[in-house]
Amino acid sequence: MSQENVPAQPPTGVGLEGLRAAAAGCRACELWEPATQTVFGEGPETARVVFVGEQPGDQEDRRGEPFVGPAGRLLDRALGDAGIERGDAYITNAVKHFRFTPTPKRRLHQTPGPEHLRACRPWLEAEFAVLQPEVVVCLGATAAKALISPSFRITRERGQLLPWTPPGADTLFSAADDDEDAPHQTWMLATTHPSAILRTPDEARPAAYDALVADLRVVAQALA
């Protein structure tokens, strides 16, 4: 079970499609068993921006694609309003399997634990190694705490561009110091997860949505 989880061991040098194929058989934690399938990231290898959510939801688990449920539709609208093409972005999750509590009517979302984040982190690192993005956007507290700091607070520090070094990139940067094609600075920004906006009371939802769009416009400006 969870206390026996060990970090996944993705293959190297296989590109995103090879990683996706390997992740389909991941057994690094116990979440694979009740889930329908692994939900890997999607987007072009040339993507300059990567969005990282928490985990797939019910519809994502059934379809095998990230951010295709109500939260995904809201994210699509916010990206459009901010001037970011979803097709130019890579979208993934910190945990690749849906963690839920079954009930007679539906499967209830359950936040992944630190052990699930640790087990799944190598997949995220492998995605970063292929993509080498300019900007990484954490959607929600779970992704922000996993990638920035356990003490990070969305309510206090959202919408700020922070310099960030992708895991495992130290060797890449040092080896390329004298190369004119050397990787440039990677930036990190955290904002609200779209699902949190959907849970916001009706009267406060427009302001919450506008705040998300404002954060995404910071990302658009960084990519300009």
* pLDDT tens per residue, range 127-157: 999 999 999 999 999 999 889 888 889 988 9
Residue 68 pLDDT exceeds 60 = yes
Is the per-residue pLDDT at 181 higher than 90? no
The residue among 182 and 145 whose pLDDT is bigger is 145
- What are the φ/ψ torsions at residue 102 (nearest 5 degrees)? -75, 140
Report the distance separating Cα 25 and Cα 29, nearest Å. 11
State the Cα–Cα distance between residues 75 and 67, nearest whole angstrom: 8
Both structure tokens of 139: 């959607």
Residue 122 and residue 22: Cα distance in Å, rounded?
12
Residue 96 or residue 172, greater confidence: 96
Long-range contacts of 59-67 (CB under 8 A, 24+ apart): 60/98, 61/35, 61/36, 61/37, 61/97, 61/98, 61/100, 61/107, 62/36, 64/36, 64/37, 64/38, 64/39, 65/39, 66/39, 66/40, 66/41, 66/42, 66/91, 66/92, 66/93, 67/91, 67/194
How far is it, in rounded angstroms, from Cα 28 to Cα 94? 14
pTM of the predicted model, to two decimals?
A: 0.91
pLDDT of residue 183: 52
